[in-house]
Amino acid sequence: MIDRKRLLLVVAVAAMLVLAGCVSTPGASDSASGVGDGTSPSPSTVDGELELHHIDVGQADATLLVTPENETILIDTGDWRSNGSEVIDYLESRNVDRIDHLVATHAHADHVGGHAAVIEHFEEHGDGVGAAYDSGVAHTSQTYENYLDAVEGYDVQLYNVTAGDRLPLEDEQVNATVLNPPAGESETDLHDNSVVLSIEFGAFSYLTTGDAEAGTEQRLVEEWSDRLESDVYQAGHHGSSTSSTDPKLDASTPEIAVISSAQASQYDHPSAEVLESFDDRGIETYWTAVHGDVVVTADGDSSSVATEHEAPTDPEELIELKE
C-alpha cells in the first residue's frame, strides 16, 4: 500500500520545480481574479473546437475534455462498482489513447472509482497518463488507496492543487483554473475541498464543482465571482439541494446545466428544488439518466449539445421524469 506522506513529500519537491513554471499560484502581488496573466484568448484568436463529454456513469461523475489540439483532461472516473469499465469503453469508442491530465475532484468512490483502472489501462495499453491532480485531502476507502497505489506503481506525477493554480495545458488556447480548495487551509471535509475548475476557451466558459456544497459556493461567490460566470455548468453534487444555491447560480448565470446522476437515485438526485431553480432562470438542462452521454462542443464563441438519447431539456419536465 502506498505511503501517502512519502508520496506527498516527493510531489511537494517536484511541484516546486515543475509547477513554478507551469501552474501559477497568486502571491502577494497577485489578485484572486488574475492568475498568471489572467488572459483568455479572444474568439478571434482561437481555432478549432473544445469538446466536453459528460459520460453517463449512473450515480457518479466522469467528464472528458478534449482541446482543439487533442489534449485530454479526464475529470473523475465513475463509481467503484464499475471499476472504470464504462469510462474506458467510452474513451476507446472515441479513440482516446492517452490521458494528459487526470483530475480527482475529491476522494469519494463515486468520483475516483475508476482512477486505478484508467491509469492501468492507459499505461499498459495506451500512451500513458501525463499527470494526476487532486486536493490532497485523503480518504480511508480501498478505492482511494487503489488510486494512490496505481499512481505510485506506474510512476504518474501527482499534484495537489489549490485555488489559483492552473493545469499546465500545452494547448494555450484553453485555460483551466482551479478555484477550490482554498490555499493554505487544512480542512478535512471531502466535499468542501472538491477541486473546482473554471475552463475558458475564447469567450466560452465552463464550470465544474465536484460535490462542493453551499458553504464552499458562498466563498467562491465572494472570492472568485468573476471566474464563476459560465456558459455551461456541471451541476454540483449530482444536482443535490446542498449545491447549486441561489447566490452561486446568480453569479454563474449559465445557459446550460448538465446533471450526472442515476434516474432511480437513492439520494433523490437531482433535487426538484434545484430543477425549479434552473427553471426559474431558464437554464437548458441535461441529465445523463435520461439523455445518456452529453457532449458539448464549443468554438470559442457559441456551443452546441449532442446527446445519446432524446429527452426534454425543460427542468419542469425533468421533474416529472423523476416521478
Summarize pLDDT for 130-163 with one digit per residue, the tens.
999 999 999 999 999 999 999 999 999 999 999 9
Contact 274, 284 (CB under 8 A): no
55-112 pLDDT per residue, tens:
999 999 999 999 999 999 999 999 999 999 999 999 999 999 999 999 999 999 999 9
How crowded is residue 170: how many other Cβ atoms within 10 Å of its Cβ?
Answer: 11
Mean pLDDT value across residues 230-258: 97
What is d(CA 258, CA 233) in angstroms, rounded to the nearest whole number?
6
Q: Which is more confidently placed, 7 or 25?
A: 7
Task: Give the DSSP H/E element, type plus range, for residue 256.
Answer: strand 256-259
How crowded is residue 45: how many other Cβ atoms within 10 Å of its Cβ?
Answer: 10
Domain count, the chain: 1
**Residue 29: inside a domain, yes or no?**
no
Contact 106, 211 (CB under 8 A): yes
Tell me whether the omega of the peptide bond preceding residue 181 falls within 30 degrees of 0, making it cis.
yes
Mean pLDDT value across residues 232-250: 96
pTM above 0.85, yes or no: yes
Torsion of CA 299, 301, 306, 311, to 10 degrees: 170
Q: Which domain holds residue 270?
A: 4-15+50-322
**Residue 26: inside a domain, yes or no?**
no
**Residue 292: inside a domain, yes or no?**
yes
**Residue 55: inside a domain, yes or no?**
yes
188-210 pLDDT per residue, tens:
889 999 999 999 999 999 999 99
What are the backbone dihedrals phi and psi of residue 232, each rounded to the nearest 5 degrees, phi first? -125, 135
Kindly report the CATH number assigned to the domain that includes residue 203: 3.60.15.10
What is d(CA 24, CA 132) in angstroms, rounded to the nearest whole number?
17
Determine the pLDDT at residue 323.
67
Q: Residues for the chain: how many in total?
A: 323
- Compute and round to an integer the Cα radius of gyration of the chain: 18
**Residue 35: inside a domain, yes or no?**
no
**Residue 24: inside a domain, yes or no?**
no
**Residue 236: inside a domain, yes or no?**
yes
User: Nearest Cα to 157, choosing from 186, 128, 177, 184?
Assistant: 128
C-alpha cell at 323: 416521478
Kindly give, in sequence order, each residue whose CB lies less than 8 Å from that of residue 199, ignoring residues fewer than 6 positions away: 50, 52, 65, 174, 175, 176, 205, 206, 207, 208
How crowded is residue 273: how many other Cβ atoms within 10 Å of its Cβ?
Answer: 13
User: Is the alpha carbon torsion for 239, 281, 292, 112 positive or negative?
Assistant: negative
**Residue 96: inside a domain, yes or no?**
yes
Residue in this structure with the C-alpha cell 466535499, named with its chain if needed: 191
